[in-house]
Amino acid sequence: MRSRAISTCRETADVATEDAVRAALARIVDPSSGTDLISADRVRSLSVKDGRVSFVIEVDATRGGAMEPIRQAAEAAVKALDGIESVTAVMTAHSAAGQAPKAPAAKGPIPDLGLKDFTPKPKEPDKPAKLPGVSHVVAISSGKGGVGKSTVSSNLAVALAGRGLRVGLLDADVYGPSQPRMLGISGRPSAAGNTILPLRNHGVTVMSLGLMVEEDEALVWRGPMLMGALQQMLAQVQWGTLDVLLVDLPPGTGDVQMTLCQKTDVAGAVVVSTPQDIALIDARKGIDMFRRMGTPILGLVENMSSFVCDGCGKEHHPFGHGGARADAERLGVPFLGEIPLHLGIRMASDGGAPIVAQKPDSEEAAPFWALADRLIEAGVAR
């Protein structure tokens, strides 16, 4: 009994604590300010579990490149602690509090402009870069939250993998990163030098910020921080050789969507909506944004299209029916199909095994297989 107790104490001592990690990071000093990372309050989302450490370093947007040696030094300091198996440090940029861009001084009288003159014009984008080893990048988008975009993304990824493709899924929905739960993935990604090693399940290679923070922890980030995290997850993750990388975007038409389209060669976008008018209004805005960014629209998906009542056996349409198909025809984009509102789809996703993986031959899985086949036929997923 005594030897067992001694062994247990030794094992506990060999595991680094959060205090030890913070002490190591407190020794990393930014030469420009003379302040260490902890005193400067630059460390966010620190997680220490089973020898795996992950954290985020917040930096000023203007000093992103200059802070890379600091990030490397922070990783090295934590790796040197006893009991550490892997360290993942993500660097994101933010603007200094209270600072806003200064508007140029007006020259001459302000003209009386009509409303049409205020139509936003997108900034001329840099030439998008192709991700090494990735044949096609496909954005999965929705104008509004709550329409089932992430459920479609996870099932589509598993269906494409089931068709024999090499598939990756980037969970870029930083405010609601649900792919770790939907794909049954837990634990922290490890790192090899400056490269983050993603996790894998159901034949899909997955990276998500949800793997680097606790499930109930909110990411309170501004736009520049989101853009920095997205670019790092694209460029510094070891995706390997992929036929297609699906990017599960946050709802709306914001910084993450624009950054993806401007910086990355995107083969096309799939827009998910429910059939109700309120969701379709925002879906049309999403389609318009992608067109402005020069990104092809692969098509529109109508999710939660209908459900069959267990009691009466009749098909019902709680959100209306056919709205997405009609909008697709009116806007001149492909209609990719209808996905039913089914309890089995929801339970499978909550349980960590999408319905395509759990019941591949079921009626409720069939629309996801059909969606995968349509993308393969379109040539953007093979």
362 known ligand binder: no
240 known ligand binder: no
149 known ligand binder: yes
Q: What are phi and psi of 180, to 5 degrees?
A: -55, -40
147 known ligand binder: yes
150 known ligand binder: yes
Residues in the chain: 382
Q: Give yes or no for a contact between 305 and 275, defined as CB atoms under 8 angstroms apart.
A: yes
Distances 86 to 69, 90, 191, 192, 200 between C-alpha atoms, Å = 18, 13, 6, 8, 17
148 known ligand binder: yes
By DSSP bridging, strand 35-36 and strand 29-30 are: antiparallel
Instruction: Show Cβ contacts of residue 367 under 8 Å, excluding neighbours closer than 6 positions.
Output: 337, 338, 339, 340
337 known ligand binder: no
Q: For residue 100, with 0-12 CB atoms within 10 Å meaning exposed, 13-18 middle and 19 or more buried, which class applies?
A: exposed
Q: For residue 32, with 0-12 CB atoms within 10 Å meaning exposed, 13-18 middle and 19 or more buried, which class applies?
A: exposed
Give the annotated binding-site residues for ATP: 143-150
**Binding site feature residues:** 143-150
